[in-house]
Amino acid sequence: MSEAERLARAAAHYRDLAPRYDRATRLIDDIRRKAMRALDPRPGETVIDAGCGTGWCLPYLLEAVGPSGRVIGFDPSGDMLSVARERDALRGANNLLLVQGAAHEVGLPRGADAVLFSYTHDLTQSAQSLRNVLGAARPGARVAATSTKLYARWLWPLNAYLRWSHREYITDFRHFDAPWTVLAGFLDDFRVDTGPFTQHYVARGRLKAGLAR
């Protein structure tokens, strides 16, 4: 499937999902918080929320970077971004930049200190997308990613269920057993917290030198 076909499919899914997305995904709220703790955003920093969707993570990131920091969220889905723009907790945040665009081509300000990939499986399967997004961060920037992954192979009935239940959220099922595979190649000090009996992972590392443009 081409990038354009994948994006069109994702856009259709997220058009439907946008109004009910936050409620439908409330069971992963704690995992998203865990990923943000792994990212460890600090006062004064610039943080990118890649594939920010309805902006669930944005209030937490804004609070962590404080008024002297900046948060940049981007997403190709206008429907998801509309929900983010209406979010009460984001009203009046003048250090928040929301950009509509897909990861492989979005134009982002340079020099970010940290990049979050929260439930953005599709995006993290594309080296081209990762190169473009991570290219906007400084060498050594902290990166954290979280999403769903398959259980151990022998738990195949659960895995069949995961594939079915994620069909609206994921378009590219490559590396569904180890979704951090491509991202790991961009990072030093890479670490992933997960296990055979969980459907979650939280990965973290520091951006290798030589990527920033």
Name the site residues for ligand SAM (rule: CB under 6 A): 7, 10, 14, 25, 32, 51-53, 56-57, 75-77, 80, 102-103, 118-120, 122-123, 129, 169
Phi, psi (rounded to 5 degrees) for 94: -90, 5
| Least distance to ligand SAM, CB of residue 174, Å | 13
Q: Decide whether 46 or 118 has the Cβ nearer to ligand SAM.
A: 118
Q: Decide whether 16 or 153 has the Cβ nearer to ligand SAM.
A: 16
| Least distance to ligand SAM, CB of residue 140, Å | 23
The residue sitting closest to ligand SAM, measured at its beta carbon, is: 53
Tell me, letter by letter, the H, E, C secondary structure of 132-193. HHHCCEEEEEEEEEEEECCCCHHHHHHHHHHHHHCCCCCCCCCCCCCCCHHHHCCEEEEEEE
| Least distance to ligand SAM, CB of residue 185, Å | 18
> Following DSSP, what letter does each residue of 14-80 receive, concatenated?
HHHHGGGHHHHTGGGHHHHHHHHHHH---TT-EEEEET-TT-TTHHHHHHHH-TTSEEEEEES-HHH
SS3 86: coil
CB-CB neighbours of 33 under 10 Å: 14
Q: Decide whether 166 or 208 has the Cβ nearer to ligand SAM.
A: 166
The token pair at 159 is 């895995």
| Least distance to ligand SAM, CB of residue 118, Å | 3
| Least distance to ligand SAM, CB of residue 10, Å | 4
Q: Decide whether 47 or 57 has the Cβ nearer to ligand SAM.
A: 57
Q: Decide whether 46 or 120 has the Cβ nearer to ligand SAM.
A: 120
d(CA 18, CA 54): 7
| Least distance to ligand SAM, CB of residue 163, Å | 15
Q: Decide whether 98 or 207 has the Cβ nearer to ligand SAM.
A: 98
